[in-house]
Structure 1
Amino acid sequence: MKFSRLVLPGATMIAATYGLARFSFGLLLPDMNESLEMSEFVSGMVSSLFYLAYCCTIILSTVITTNEGPRRMIISAGLSAFAGLVLIAVTPNVWVLALGVLLAGASTGLASPPYGAAISLWIKTDQQGKANTWINSGTSFGIVLSGLGAIFLTPNWRLTYLIYAILTFLILLWNFRVIPKVGTSSSLMLQKGNLSIRGVKGAIPLIFASLILGISTAAFWTFSRSFIEEAGDYSDWQLSGFWVIIGIFGVLGGFSGSLVERWGLSVGYKLGSLSIASASIMLSFTSENWLVPYLSAGVFGCFYIFLTGVLLVWGTRVFITNASLGIGIPFLLLAVGQVLGSLLAGLLIGTWDYATAFMLYGIIGMVATLLGPKKNKIE
């Protein structure tokens, strides 16, 4: 299959599930709280459903993709995102909102593993690393769209979600037409039933690195906007602009596959983890000057997508006969780490302050640097 024929619809599906269905929620939440009269506790509980749904469905998606191939899960991801966005747009109360959030969050877990399998089936071996990382960078395009939506459509959050739902449906139709069934247009047959990590060389370092990286990035995803809002006198469009910067620079992370090929996996991992750590440390020194938080957002956006791309390449090299497992395991552990990291960050911020918490999370990111692949091998 031609590289762009799979990568372009794949990147847009990741943009819809991660960017529109998942990350847009935090930007629109203040207006939703006001409309639905939700307390901070209730909105926090609803937000946690994204992570819960993600952790469950990425396991399901990995199993089904391994046994049946990628098409069914890719279509299911699009349907789940579309249904979730529609429910959020029309929700009359917090219960329907929670159901919409569950479906929207589920779409992200459903989407990630099957694209790794699709790439291993239909993309040439020497192009698979680049294909994985460019599809993964679709998250950045989705974040940019969600940030722009927050700037121009925030008072009309229902209309915003309805527009997102329409875009997602069109992307679903595109993928439905493009993704072939297993056994067609492929010289590589799907290997079924290989779901064990036992005896797989390099699996344990991959697991621990993904978990620690998830913890180290949680504070930024969850509390960075709240931090700068408290630290300085920013307008709504400047706060949303902070999010847009994360997405715009995240597009650069799509080059991680090419850089890994040139520099090696170990160098790419160390560069990414050190940069992620520096973004949190940089933000801990934030002030009323917009330059520091915006610079931090650019570094974080670029190297978060870069680093998840490195994890994709690392995972598919470790689980060389099962690409869906190679993507599912690091992304699952990344999400588990973010759940734990968010809970810990809230506790640290409540006990001390934002600056101290972000400094500590930067140090955790430095620790993650020590857990990467050694000398470009997978062990």
Structure 2
Amino acid sequence: MVTKAKEKTGRWWSTAAAGAGVIALCYGFARYAYGPFVPRFSATFGLTPVSVGVLGGLSTAGYGLGLLVSPKTSARSARGTVLLAGAAATAGLALMALAPNVAVFGAGIVIAGGSAGLVSPGVAQVIGETVGRRVRARAQTWANTGTGLGLAASAFTPLLVFGWPAIWATFAVLGGVLTLIAWRALPRTEPAEVVTGSARGVLPLVLNSVLIGVTSAPYWTFSSSRLTESGLSPAAATWCWFAIGVAGLLGGSAGRVAERIGLRPTNLATWTLAAAGIVLLALPDPGLPAALVSSALFGVTYLALTGLCILWASRVFPARPARGVTWSFLGLGAGQTAASPLAGAAASAIGLAAVFGLTGLVALLAWTQLHPRAAPPSAGRAPGGS
């Protein structure tokens, strides 16, 4: 047992790195890279704003389907679920690159979006099964920073002179490479036990996740527009997107901090920084320095908060982390889906600056977690589901 524990502790970094690579593929390339390329897609397929919205909705639909499927596939094989996610991302990106028409392009978006729904629960389950308890929190949050890595890697690709199909084909090739690396590096897992029990304790987790979705959606959707209307150039906006990704890599340290001071204090401190970063875009003239600080704060806190959700989910469902992550990320997706159109409508009425000011205030609702019933469970206490 001692030898096994040492093995679990010693190899956590390779498991986390392989998981981060597939997460970078599924989120950074297959899901989030769509937005910056909308003008190019529109020119190729003659898309109207409504069509662009429909295609974005297809990505969200695929994401939701992946989340719903992932607990069952993760129970059969957590490692297989991660590899399936990588294969889906690669196939979706390739289909988009080769699409002769918008219908095939849309099918590729659904498949690529589904990969993002599969990967986070799968990676969480792999780490939960194969990494020692002492370093598990660090492994979970560092793996989750793969999203930031993918965002940083794809940030400047819209500025390349190559046509978008060539860029998307390159993404697909990288996807194949990352999936192969994961196949070689991820430890093999056994089918998980069938776990029954109540979902007691999951509601605070879901509410926290919904709040992440509600407060992040305006930033993902309208931050570039806000920077443009304040006078910054498209190149400056690209640097801000890059800052989100690079700073997001620091979000992996949230697991270590949570080990030292506790999950609730870490979560609340991160929420406070997130509110500060969002509010910076409410300034009348943020300028490039404030915009970069805002982007960096958003990147690090978004990745930290989603990583902390994975730790929270693992405490609610210690034997089946994938189930808890699915609940959490469904809440996040629901919050984003509801908040994007609401933020757009509010922007038409009161302006984007006011929208970001209000969003920052909404983020402070996280301080209701000072109440024990809204707080995450402490280490070693599983409220249910195990």
TM tier, shorter chain? Answer: over 0.9
| CA distance in 2: counterparts of 1:73 and 1:362, whole angstroms | 36
The match for 1:222 is 221
**Stretch moving more, 369-378 or 344-353:** 369-378
| CA distance in 2: counterparts of 1:73 and 1:99, whole angstroms | 21
TM-score normalized by structure 1? Answer: 0.92
| CA distance in 2: counterparts of 1:286 and 1:144, whole angstroms | 28
Aligned residue pairs, count? 368
The match for 1:333 is 331
Is 1:305 the counterpart of 2:272? The answer is no
Is 1:79 the counterpart of 2:81? The answer is no
Alignment of 1:99-178 (within 5 A): 99-151=107-159, 153=160, 156-178=163-185
Residue 338 of structure 1 aligns to which amino acid in structure 2? Q
Residue 162 of structure 1 aligns to which amino acid in structure 2? A
> Which consecutive residues of structure 2, in runs of 5 or more, have no partner in the other structure?
1-7
The match for 1:40 is 49
Q: Deviations over 1:31-71 (max 9, x none)?
A: 221222111111111012221111121111012212x1202
Is 1:30 the counterpart of 2:39? The answer is yes
| CA distance in 1: counterparts of 2:99 and 2:287, whole angstroms | 38
| CA distance in 1: counterparts of 2:378 and 2:131, whole angstroms | 23
> Which consecutive residues of structure 1, in runs of 5 or more, have no partner in the other structure?
184-188
Alignment of 1:264-343 (within 5 A): 264-285=262-283, 287=285, 289-343=287-341
| CA distance in 1: counterparts of 2:280 and 2:161, whole angstroms | 29
| CA distance in 2: counterparts of 1:155 and 1:41, whole angstroms | 26
Compute the displacement of 1:154 (Å). Answer: 5.8
- Aligned match for 2:64, one of 55, 70, 76: 55
Q: Deviations over 1:342-363 (max 9, x none)?
A: 1211111122210111111111
| CA distance in 2: counterparts of 1:140 and 1:288, whole angstroms | 23
Q: 1:312, 1:327 within 8 Å by CA — same for their partners in 2? A: yes
- Aligned match for 2:105, one of 97, 107, 118: 97
- Aligned match for 1:4, one of 8, 13, 18: 13
Q: 2:97, 2:169 within 8 Å by CA — same for their partners in 1? A: yes
The match for 1:186 is none
* Displaced runs of 4 or more, over 6 A: none
| CA distance in 1: counterparts of 2:227 and 2:251, whole angstroms | 24
| CA distance in 1: counterparts of 2:148 and 2:367, whole angstroms | 23
Q: 1:154, 1:160 within 8 Å by CA — same for their partners in 2? A: no
- Aligned match for 1:190, one of 189, 192, 198: 192
Identical columns (%): 28
Residue 109 of structure 2 aligns to which amino acid in structure 1? V
| CA distance in 1: counterparts of 2:116 and 2:39, whole angstroms | 23
Q: 1:197, 1:203 within 8 Å by CA — same for their partners in 2? A: no
Distance 1:182 1:288, change over 3 A: closer
The match for 2:258 is 260
Compute the displacement of 1:326 (Å). Answer: 2.0
The match for 1:355 is 353
Residue 108 of structure 2 aligns to which amino acid in structure 1? G
Q: 1:276, 1:365 within 8 Å by CA — same for their partners in 2? A: yes
Q: CA RMSD in A?
A: 1.8
Residue 352 of structure 1 aligns to which amino acid in structure 2? I
Compute the displacement of 1:286 (Å). Answer: 5.1
The match for 2:205 is 206
Distance 1:80 1:86, change over 3 A: same
TM-score normalized by structure 2? Answer: 0.91
Compute the displacement of 1:102 (Å). Answer: 0.6
Distance 1:345 1:155, change over 3 A: farther
Compute the displacement of 1:331 (Å). Answer: 1.3
Q: 2:252, 2:303 within 8 Å by CA — same for their partners in 1? A: yes
- Aligned match for 1:369, one of 356, 367, 370: 367
